[in-house]
Chains A and B, each alone.
Chain A
Amino acid sequence: MLEPIWQPLAQVAKELDAGRLSSVELTTQVLHHIEATEPKIHSFLTLTPETALEEARAADERRARGERGPLLGVPIAVKDVILTKGVRTTAASRILENFVAPYDATVIRRLREAGAVFLGKLNCDEFAMGSSTENSAFGPTYNPWNLQRVPGGSSGGSAAAVAAGQCFAALGTDTGGSIRQPAACCGIVGVKPSYGRVSRYGLIAYASSFDQIGPMARTVADCALVLEIIAGRDPRDATSAAQPVPRYSAELERPLRGLRLALPQECFGEGVQAEVRDAVLSAVRWFESQGVAVVETSLPHSRYAVPTYYLVATAEASSNLARYDGVRFGLRLAEEAGLLTMYGRTRASGFGAEVKRRIMLGTYALSAGYYDAYYLKALKVRTLVRRDFEAAFTRADVVAMPTAPTTAFRLGEKTGDPLQMYLSDIFTIAANLAGLPALSLPCGFDQEGLPIGLQLVGRPFQEAQLLAAAHAYEQAHPWKSQHPSL
């Protein structure tokens, strides 16, 4: 049998239910494993072992009283852009280095009620802006499969921690691919829910018309278990949707027969690593062998997704990040020099290079004289990207494509060229522009042993369909049982 720390979340909960393992024992094992692996991986920004063990004891007591639940007493961790009451929450930024969250995000409150044990806060690109976790103010995270490679980003700490067996599941956030791309790079499953599916109350905002919180775990079923807890309407987030939340974990065995899969021709051409293309096409052929209809499709505006996203998202970021002014929380510098200098110097020193670049880009796109040419134009192209998907969904239920054009790249490989870094999001961004649910799951390895991700995109609020298709594929393939050797 697998060591407990490598078991799927669903399995370890059964061990806890059967009394073969206590949450305190499990949490202690996980904390030891983190201590042993963290010097290599650096996935955590803040570890909270004392409160984790208190939560584990509380979970053991709840179970002793007869309570059951898939997350009761199970150790998880959270990307450091989500507020956790009483715990430092930094967004991986110097400007929030000493910020202690005064309240819990709604997703955290729901997971606490379910009895989850919180191990700490996970590294990411500063304010979730990046594709490699190299933009963290506190140093990068290393890919557990190959320590010379990035884990992807921005939720790179979340992906690396899950892949390295440091937690059973993690929360990430996805604005332009920040759950799916690191999930692909680290060989795990990551789900970006439909826009509005999960409350953002207590999420440090980056780009509000895109941001979604979602689960990352080693199996599809584990993601389903976490998603059904965190999803649903929240009166504290007016953008959260009222649609009922299915029990995703109970719908995983839906038959594949009758499903129609669309392949966008744009996603298999130039610029895609041959091994990535081959692995994704091989996964598609497996679906075909199971009675799934496969149709060719086109998303003609997907080639404009990167500029569209980076204009709209940076515009929103320039507004969202205006709150970091040194007045009410966070860093304050040069107050003796007057208000304007205090603002300018606090922000120049507190934000890292990429965050400043995006604030500059967004401010430019919104400023007088450029608004129509850049921001408004991008919003119109965003409509066209959505229409492309609507057209594809008249003939298919799910769109399949690579999650990223390549496997994990080397640390430092793209830091000198922001545009090349932006282009690593080329296949994930379109789902954010259209507000659609999407997930990434492992579908093989390249010659260097780096994981490859298959991306499935569905209609709004059809997460259950995506999860069931992904689960069927996962059951038939061995990827989930392979772990990096650390």
Chain B
Amino acid sequence: MPLDRSVVQNIAHLARLELNAEEEAQYLSQLENILGYFRSLDEVDTSGVEPATEIVDPGDVVRDDVVDNPPAGEELLANAPSRHGRFFRVPKIIE
């Protein structure tokens, strides 16, 4: 399916990126160019090939359920853009 403005808008919405019209036009042409080149993958016969989902298989990794790096409360909250006491403050979600 060809890329068009509405696909770019939908992708930007899914990615939570508020793009302006100029950016939409620019990304449309750049993504078309990049994806056009990437379609060379269609030449490769991958029938019967398993997708590479693990790079190094470390086996099952288990550990005791012990906290050894408790979050440093104040240091974590110090990076909050907005806070109320020991809580992150966020805009109202339910109208």
**What is A's interface to B at a CB cutoff of 8 Å?**
98-100, 102-103, 194-196, 209-210, 235-236, 238-242, 301, 303-304, 306-308, 310-311, 318, 322, 325-332, 335-345, 347-348, 351, 356-357, 359-361, 363-364, 367, 369-370, 374, 376-384, 386, 418-419, 422, 433, 435, 460
Contacts and interface: CB of A to CB of B under 8 A. Distances in A.
B69 interface: yes
12 contacts: A209-B55, A235-B63, A242-B58, A328-B88, A330-B81, A331-B81, A335-B82, A340-B16, A374-B38, A377-B44, A381-B41, A419-B33
Contacts of B58: 196, 238-242
Given A304-B41, A307-B40, 9 more contacts: A100-B79, A209-B55, A322-B16, A328-B76, A361-B34, A379-B52, A379-B53, A380-B50, A380-B51
Contact of B52 (A338, A383, A418, A419): A383
A363 B46 contact: no
A336 B19 CA distance: 19
Nearest to A435: B55
A359 B15 contact: yes
A344 B15 CA distance: 8
Task: Describe B's contact surface by its main secondary structure.
Answer: loop
A86 to B, nearest CB: 8
Contacts of B8: 360
Could you say which of B37, B42, B91 has the most chain A C-beta atoms within 10 Å of its C-beta? B91
B78 interface: yes
Task: Describe A's contact surface by its main secondary structure.
Answer: helix
Given A329-B80, A364-B11, A380-B46, A359 B69 contact: no
B38 to A, nearest CB: 4
Nearest to A242: B58
Nearest to B38: A307
B21 interface: no
B43 to A, nearest CB: 8
Counting from the closest, the 7 A-B pairs by CB-CB distance are: A344-B18, A379-B51, A332-B81, A329-B79, A307-B38, A380-B46, A102-B75
A418 B88 CA distance: 38
A347 B17 contact: yes
Interface in B41-95: 41-42, 44, 46, 49-53, 55-56, 58, 61, 63, 69, 71-72, 75-76, 78-82, 88, 90-93
B49 A339 contact: no
A348 B51 contact: no
A179 B30 CA distance: 26
A241 B55 CA distance: 11
A44 to B, nearest CB: 22
B13 to A, nearest CB: 8
B15 A360 contact: yes
A26 to B, nearest CB: 31
A238 B41 contact: no
Contact of A345 (B18, B42, B69, B93): B18
A348 B18 contact: yes
Nearest to A351: B17
Contacts of A236: 69
Contacts of A384: 44, 46, 49
A239 B51 contact: no
B12 interface: yes
Contacts of A331: 81
A335 B84 CA distance: 15
B35 to A, nearest CB: 8
Given A329-B81, A419-B34, A194 B56 contact: yes
Contact of B46 (A344, A377, A386): A377
Nearest to B59: A242
B91 A195 contact: no
Given A328-B79, A369-B1, A377-B46, A318 B56 contact: no
